[in-house]
Structure 1
Amino acid sequence: MHDVPLWLWTVFAVTVVVALAVDLLAHRRAHAIGLRDAAVWSGVWVGLAVVFGALVFLVVGTTAGVEYTTAWLLEKSLSADNLFVFALIFGYFKVPREYQHRVLFLGVLGALVFRGLFLAAGVAVVNRFTAVLFVFGAFLFYSAYKILTKEEDSVDPGKSLAVRLLRKVIPVRDEYAGARFFVREGGKIVATPLLAVVAAVEGADLVFAVDSVPAVLGVSSDAFIVYTSNAFAILGLRALYFLLADLMDRFHYLSKGLALILGFIGVKLTLQASHEIISTAIPEVHSLLSLGVIVTVLVVSVVLSVLRPAPSGRADERPGADAGEPVSGPPSDSRNAAEEGRDDT
């Protein structure tokens, strides 16, 4: 565990709160996020993450700084698949582009809370029961295998547990009502499809956490490192979606690269647990090596994708490749209702 001063935790909390408040004010009116706007905000979030990482290097030490940087890059790379699922969800529910930022903003707030809970539980378990690292390692091996063999679970936003639970709690109408989440019909409060979209996004993030949490715990078991790195990666996910959603299908080798990274972290966890439980003669993977492997795999994956483009039409096979086009879902009149409700904010 690293000796982290309380003031650094405070700096992190204040930075996140202020950045979220500024982001919310900048997008307080529903509007479609353009490429330039997305690029600027992506730069802001990456810049904040890098500056905070430099502060970790200076205050906590080199080891902590390397762990933070590695965990942030890992979480950022694992977020790539999130973009495809977000696109699928938006396509399924035919969400107008001007409301997508609002949905993702709420999704990020929920992710910050749930990831915090999961990571806190994971850190507590790892620090108390080292043998659980074997389980985490095995799970990451299985996740890598599923990606490489294309046996990833299919996603049906309309049938997700979160959406089904929401429908049990409150009726959900078929038509949008501007950017509102609730409307009154016949004297009763009912939800709009926009609330179902938020539920689907939150549910998807819980699924992503199943891979993400064991992976980041393979980099560090320090609560400060794992949460701050995750938080900065999650905060930049909205801007990254609007910046790269239409381009991610070109990076078709990235999924294979992510599988290799998950497999590598699985090996790291297994060696770490073996070193602590079986014999200290068993080597561990140094943090700098982890950082080097992750950076190398990501760079090679992107370069190969550019040099060897996917066959024509491959992007269409990916669910939700175009977030602006419907896939399947609510009745077709939802799009018309959405168009009518765009000015109702």
Structure 2
Amino acid sequence: MELTFLAAEFLGKPTWLWLAFIGVVGLILAFDLGVLHRKAHEIELRESILLSLFYIGLGLSYGGFVWWYLGPVSGMQYLTGYAVEKSLSMDNVFVIGVILAYFGIPRAYQHRILFWGILGVIVLRGIMIGLGAGLVAQFHWILYLFAAFLIFTGIKMLMSAGGDDHYDVESNAVLKFMRKRFHVTDRVDKDRFWLRLPHPKTGRLTWYATPLFLALVCVELADVIFAVDSIPAIFTITTDPFIVFTSNIFAILGLRAMFFMLSALVHRFEYLKYALSAVLVFIGSKIFIADLMGWEKFPPPVSLGVTFGLLAAGFLFSLWKTRTAPAPLQAPIPVPLAVEVTPAERIG
């Protein structure tokens, strides 16, 4: 009975394959939180680079497994999707930096926000991918809408690549709602999301959301916004839900390490957006090119080669162009008010 359940197909793949993937992700997250970051500490550049390489290695290794088990076509689709999602997540990283700076989160406590933020992102992406897969299965023409949207997004990104893309945290409607409807405080007690503090009017102990929790909510909302670009991008590469989900999740898993690395090296990737905009236009154009050429689908080897070629060119050109550029002086992150509370007044 158990073997029959494990062998049964779920969204086109054996159930055991989905469970194995979820198990691998769970072990990675447990290792990250329970071993690598058991104690809150400030992640330096060297550690963030090593962690980024570790997660990239995991993502590519899983791509090798997909290539071996599901075949070269699936393997190339996974690698293409992984490269695109990894590159698109860089914009997400920059916005996360703005959010953490806005709330004045000390660097030693930023990892906890990112860790729980990634867990939420995995759930949200899973829901969005499931909905997207259902729509594509029922209405194949929606892929053309996805493709047109990607072309539009790529052109828009290209036109604004040299401009100011400042993310305005203050105008976030959900943040305004929380500040109006919930008790919030500017005080920080280590990496706590909630504190019990005396109410200014009644003196009774009341739960207050700390800046860490508000930042976590904003990070989740920012990912929902960015998923509007990334989900259509991966579905124009492949409609296989397993490839879509696994490439997305492995690209997201290394987001925390990438954040700490890019926060120190952001000035070295000034021209990467030009390459990324070209990738979005190319990915969006594939379905139209395939129709014009009379192909059943765009050749995966060509798609993989062009995607990696454009991204590699963008990285190398950025590194060469900024080789003599000094690192910009960063304004100090404002430190929130400290508060001494008893253990009974803490939660989160």
TM-score band, normalised by the shorter chain?
Answer: 0.7 to 0.9
What does residue 216 of structure 1 align with?
234
2:20 equivalent in structure 1: 11
Q: Cα 1:177–1:260, aligned 2, differ >3 Å: closer, same or farther?
A: same
8 A Cα contact 1:166 1:199, kept in partner = no
Between the aligned partners of 1:172 and 1:13, the Cα distance in structure 2 is 35
Q: Hey, what's the Cα distance between the residues in 1 that align with 2:155 and 2:340?
A: 46
Q: Secondary structure at the match of 2:231?
A: helix
After superposition, the C-alpha distances for 1:295-332 in whole angstroms (9 at most, x for unaligned) are 1011111111122229968x76xxxx84x734xxxxx6
Task: Tell me if 1:103 matches 2:113.
Answer: yes
Map of 1:129 onto structure 2: 139
Q: Distance in 2 between matches of 1:338 and 1:147?
A: 40
For 1:95, what is the secondary structure of its paired residue? coil
Does 2:320 match 1:307?
A: yes
Comparing 165-174 and 107-116, the one that deviates more: 165-174
Whether the aligned pair in 1 keeps the contact of 2:97 and 2:263 (CA below 8 Å) is yes
- Matched residue type, 1:21: A
Answer yes or no: is 1:195 the counterpart of 2:207.
no
Give matches, 1:44-123, under 5 Å: 44-123=54-133
Between the aligned residues of both structures, percent identity stands at 38
Aligned residue identity for 2:306: V
**SS of residue paired to 2:170:** helix
Which residue does the alignment assign to 2:196?
A: 184
Instruction: Report SS of the residue matched to 2:207.
Output: strand
Q: Could you tell me how far apart the structure 2 residues matched to 1:336 and 1:56 are?
A: 46
Read off the aligned partner of 2:309 and give its amino acid letter. Answer: T
Q: Secondary structure of the equivalent of 2:146?
A: helix
Q: What letter corresponds to residue 21 of structure 2 in structure 1? A: F
Inter-partner Cα distance in structure 2 for 1:4 and 1:158: 44
- Describe the superposition over 1:237-272 as per-residue Cα deviations: whole angstroms up to 9, x where unpaired: 111111222112211110011100110111013345
Residue 334 of structure 2 corresponds to residue 337 of structure 1 = no
Task: Determine the structure 1 residue equivalent to 2:176.
Answer: 164
Contact 2:187 2:339 in 1 (8 A): no
Residue among 128, 152, 155 paired with 2:167: 155
- Amino acid paired to 2:128: F
Distance 1:147 1:294, change over 3 A: same
Q: Which runs of 5+ in 1 are unaligned?
A: 327-331
The alpha carbon displacement at 1:209 in A equals 0.2
CA distance in structure 2 between the partners assigned to 1:310 and 1:284 by the alignment: 40
| Equivalent residue number for residue 329 of structure 1 | none
Amino acid at match of 2:259: Y
SS at match of 2:57: helix
- Alpha carbons of structure 1 residues 66 and 337: separation in structure 2 relative to 1, 3 Å: same
Residue of structure 1 equivalent to 2:156: 146
Measure the CA separation in 2 of the matches of 1:269 and 1:167.
45
Over aligned residue pairs, what C-alpha RMSD do you find? 2.7
The answer for the alignment partner of 2:299 in structure 1 is: 286
Report the counterpart of residue 3 of structure 2 in structure 1: none
Please identify, of 27-36 and 95-104, the stretch whose mean Cα deviation from structure 2 is larger. 27-36
CA contact (8 A) 1:141 1:263 kept: yes
The residue that corresponds to 2:43 in the other structure is 33
Which residue in 2 is equivalent to 1:325?
A: 332
Distance 1:2 1:89 in 2: 36
- Name the amino acid aligned to 1:77: S
Q: Distance in 1 between matches of 2:18 and 2:336?
A: 47
| In 2: Cα distance, 1:3 partner to 1:57 partner | 17
Report the equivalent of 2:260: 242
- Indicate conservation of the 8 Å contact 1:94/1:325, yes or no: no
Change (3 A) 1:118 1:294: same
Q: CA deviation at 1:63?
A: 0.9
2-structure distance, mates of 1:210, 1:116: 13
Q: Secondary structure of the equivalent of 1:221?
A: coil
Is 1:23 aligned with 2:36? Answer: no
The 3 A distance-change label for structure 1 pair 89 and 285 is: same
- Structure 1 position 126, deviation (Å): 1.2
CA distance 1:91–1:184, shift in 2 (3 Å):
same
Give the counterpart letter for 2:207 in structure 1: I
Q: 2:310 aligns with which of 293, 297, 311?
A: 297
Q: Helix, strand or coil: the match of 2:43?
A: coil
- Which stretch shows the higher mean deviation, 67-76 or 126-135? 126-135
Q: 2:282 aligns with which of 250, 255, 264?
A: 264
Note the residue ranges of structure 2 that are not aligned, 5 or more in a row.
Answer: 1-9, 199-204
